[in-house]
Amino acid sequence: MEKDKKTKITVRAAIDASLERVWKFWTDPEHITHWNHASDDWHTTHASNDLKVGGKFLSHMAAKDGSMGFDFEGTYTKIELHESIEYVMADGREVKISFSKKGNETVVDETFDPENTHSIEMQQAGWQAILDNFRKYVESKEG
């Protein structure tokens, strides 16, 4: 399947929390390990995050039964505090995440280049599931 340079996938969630809280939960490895999975049979066993331009992040995602795992990693190319994060994944695909206030909610939009192995629909569903887990995690935590 030839990669279409124009194809981008976007997922979105409206989260009932402050912009500052959403940003903290998105970027703090202590929180990332709790929400960064697409299904309940997967989890993130380790996360590191050097949130600065040129900094790197890594989340080790693994099946809970130990059958498989992989590193999701990238390098930050642009960061605007409480507004947006951009990075390039290890395979060269680009991602942009924007954070915006809408009334009492914070809207997170995540746009990314698809890979060539899985269908657009499958990739969108997977990233949306992770974003939905993020929303549930942020809204369920006290403080």
Q: Is residue 64 part of a domain?
A: yes
Specify if 100 maps to a domain.
yes
Instruction: Check pLDDT > 80 for residue 36.
Output: yes
Q: Which CATH number belongs to the domain containing residue 115 in this structure?
A: 3.30.530.20
CB neighbour list of residue 104: distance below 8 Å, 6 or more residues apart: 16
Angle at 8 between CA 46 and CA 105, to 5 degrees: 65
User: What digits encode the pLDDT tens for the residues 110-123?
Assistant: 999 999 999 999 99
| Overall domain count for the chain | 1
Tens of pLDDT, residues 49-106? 999 999 999 999 999 999 999 999 999 999 999 999 999 999 999 999 999 999 999 9
Under 8 Å CB-to-CB from 37, ≥6 apart: which residues? 43, 44, 61, 130, 133
The reported pTM is 0.92
Q: Give mean pLDDT, residues 8-34.
A: 97
Q: Pull the structure tokens for residue 64.
A: 């809970």
Q: Show the domain range for 114.
A: 9-140
Give domain status of residue 1, yes or no: no
Whether residue 4 is contained in a domain is answered as no
